[in-house]
Structure 1
Amino acid sequence: MDNSQAILNFLGIARRANQLVSGENTLLSGIRNRKIYFLFIASDTGKSTSKKFLDKSNYYHVPVNTMYTKEVLSNAIGMKRTMIGIKDRGISEKMIELTNRK
C-alpha cells in the first residue's frame, strides 16, 4: 500500500475513533487553543480560506497536508468536508510520519 492510501485509511480510523474536528470556527478555535495537532486542507479549497488556515497553522506550528481534494477527503471519512483537524497527538504524529515518508 502506498503512503497516500495509508494516510487516507488512517484518517478513516481517526474518524471512527472520534478524533476529528471540522467546521471553520471550531478549527480556528482549536488551532488557537492548541487542541488541533494536524490539519488537512483540501487542495481545491478557496484561496482566501486556504490562506487563512495556512497562516494560522504556520503561526501555531500545526502541520498541514494539502495534497488531497475535497472529494478524496470526504470519501476517506464518509462525510463531506473541506478541512479536517486531528485532535489526538498520537494520530497526528502518525500522520506526520506518513506524510513525510517518501
Structure 2
Amino acid sequence: MQTNKLLSAISLSRKAGKLVMGFDAVKESLAKGQAFLIFCAGDLSANTRKRVDRFCEEWGVQARTLPLTQDELLDVCPKRTGVFAVIDSGFAKLISTQLAAEDDTH
C-alpha cells in the first residue's frame, strides 16, 4: 500500500517537471545546487551506487535508496533509470515522507 503512495509521489513530481532522471542529469542538477533529494533504485549496480555516493558526498547530500527496482519504476518514468533527483523542496518533502512511511512498514 505504501509503495503505491511512493510511486504516486514520484509520478506527480515527474509530471510537474521536478524530477531529474539519469546519472549525468542528476549529477548536473546537484552541481548547480538544484537538487533537494537524490534517490536510487534498489537494484542499482554497486559500481553506479559508489559513483552516486561519491558525487553526493562531494556536494554534502545523502542519496536514499528506494524499495523499488528500476523495472518497477517504469510505471512512472519513460525509460529504465536508477538515479533520480527532485528539484523542488515540496516534492522532496513529499517523497521523503513516503520513503519514511515505507521504512516504517519494513
Q: Where on the TM-score scale, by shorter chain, does this alignment land: which range?
A: 0.7 to 0.9
Aligned mates of 1:8, 1:94 — CA distance in 2? 11
Aligned mates of 1:40, 1:73 — CA distance in 2? 12
CA RMSD of aligned residues (A): 1.8
Report the counterpart of residue 94 of structure 1 in structure 2. Answer: 94
How far apart are 1:58 and its partner, in Å? 4.2
Query: How does the TM-score come out when normalised to structure 1?
Result: 0.83
CA contact (8 A) 1:74 1:82 kept: no
Distance 1:20 1:9, change over 3 A: same
Unaligned runs of 5+ in 1: none
1:34 is paired with a residue of what secondary structure? coil
How far apart are 1:66 and its partner, in Å? 3.1
CA contact (8 A) 1:42 1:70 kept: yes
Query: What's the % identity of the aligned pairs?
Result: 15
Deviations 1:20-55 (A, max 9, x none): 112222211212232111122112222111111123
Unaligned runs of 5+ in 2: none
Aligned mates of 1:76, 1:26 — CA distance in 2? 17
Report the counterpart of residue 27 of structure 1 in structure 2. Answer: 26
Report the counterpart of residue 14 of structure 2 in structure 1. Answer: 15
Report the counterpart of residue 43 of structure 1 in structure 2. Answer: 42
2:85 is paired with a residue of what secondary structure? strand
Q: Which amino acid aligns with 2:47?
A: S
Aligned mates of 1:32, 1:43 — CA distance in 2? 24
How far apart are 1:67 and its partner, in Å? 1.9
CA contact (8 A) 2:52 2:63 kept: no
Report the counterpart of residue 77 of structure 1 in structure 2. Answer: 77
